[in-house]
Structure formats: structure tokens, C-alpha cells
Amino acid sequence: MGGVRKEFFMLLFAEILDFKYGMFQEYEETRTIWFSPYSLEEEVMYSLIGVLCGLAIYNFVIINLPFPLVMYKKLLGESVGLSDIKEMSPTIARYFVYSQNRIRYLSHIKLIINEYMHLQKFRKCSRIQRIRF
């Protein structure tokens, strides 16, 4: 099934998803694409791409859209986790893990400093009380 319709949609999506328009960016590690934060296009253009995807499905044309699974999860309203981000970009996922570990480390250090300061205040109060008696 397909023929001219399949070729039409393949050529159409190859042109629309081309990076020269700046609407999408590619993650080279996984060869998936995502919406470019630097795009100058209006939201209506992205809606138009959605309509074209719907037309392809309606016409029983299977096209290759190299979006990561996380996009389809977002469309279905499912929760997204770190494993989904890792599938899209392992580098970004590693950065998140590094950041989380760093935040935990820094909050642990902050807790230790707060406890130390509390102990210092307690010791100071104890000394003052001992001096008064």
C-alpha cells in the first residue's frame, strides 16, 4: 500500500523536518529529533505538522518520524522519567544525575554546617550558663 501517496508524505516530511528551517534539532547520540528552543516559527506551524501526521495516518501511510518515545508519552499524558530523557539524550540524562547528586551533596554539607552552628550556639550558651553559676 502506498505508491504515490507514500512517496508524497515521505518527501513532505523530509522537507518539513529538515534542520535548515530551525524548527527541530537532532540529538546525534540517538539520531532522534526534538523541537528547537531557538525556532522562530509560530505554534501554528507545529500544529500544521500534527495535522499532516494525522493525514498520513488517515491514509494508512507509515512514515518515519524520528521522535523519541518521550514525545508520544507526553501526547498521551503519561508521566515522563529520567529513563525517557536518557533515551532521547544520554548526555542530558547524565547531567541530570550529576546535578541531582551534587544537590544532594551540597544539601548534606549545608545540613552538617547547620548542625555544627547549632552545636556552637549550644556550647556558647552552656559556657555562659556555667559562668553565671
Q: Summarize pLDDT for 63-116 with one digit per residue, the tens.
A: 888 888 888 888 899 988 878 888 788 787 777 777 777 777 777 777 777 776
What is this structure's pTM?
Answer: 0.60
CATH number where 1 lies: 3.90.1750.10
Q: According to the model, what pLDDT value does residue 131 have?
A: 53
| Residue 7 belongs to some domain of the structure | yes
How many domains are there within the chain? Answer: 2
Which pLDDT band holds residue 119 (cuts at 50, 70, 90)? low
| Residue 83 belongs to some domain of the structure | no
- Cα separation, 88 vs 84, in Å, equals 7
- Cα separation, 64 vs 12, in Å, equals 12
Which pLDDT band holds residue 58 (cuts at 50, 70, 90)? very high
Q: According to the model, what pLDDT value does residue 69 have?
A: 85
| Residue 125 belongs to some domain of the structure | yes
Same domain, 96 and 40: no
**Among candidate residues 77, 99, 122, the one where a domain is terminated:** 77
- Cα separation, 88 vs 17, in Å, equals 17
Nearest to 46 by CA among 82, 10, 83, 75: 75
Same domain, 4 and 44: yes
Cβ(87)–Cβ(68) below 8 Å: yes
Same domain, 58 and 102: no
| Residue 70 belongs to some domain of the structure | yes
Average confidence score pLDDT of the chain: 81
The three three-digit cell numbers of residue 66, written as one number: 524520528
**What integer is the mean pLDDT of 43-65?**
91
Cβ(69)–Cβ(84) below 8 Å: yes
CB neighbourhood size of 22 (10 A): 12
- Cα separation, 121 vs 79, in Å, equals 46
What letter does residue 21 receive in the DSSP assignment?
G
Q: Which domain does 118 fall in, by range?
A: 89-133
Q: According to the model, what pLDDT value does residue 104 have?
A: 74
Q: According to the model, what pLDDT value does residue 122 have?
A: 61
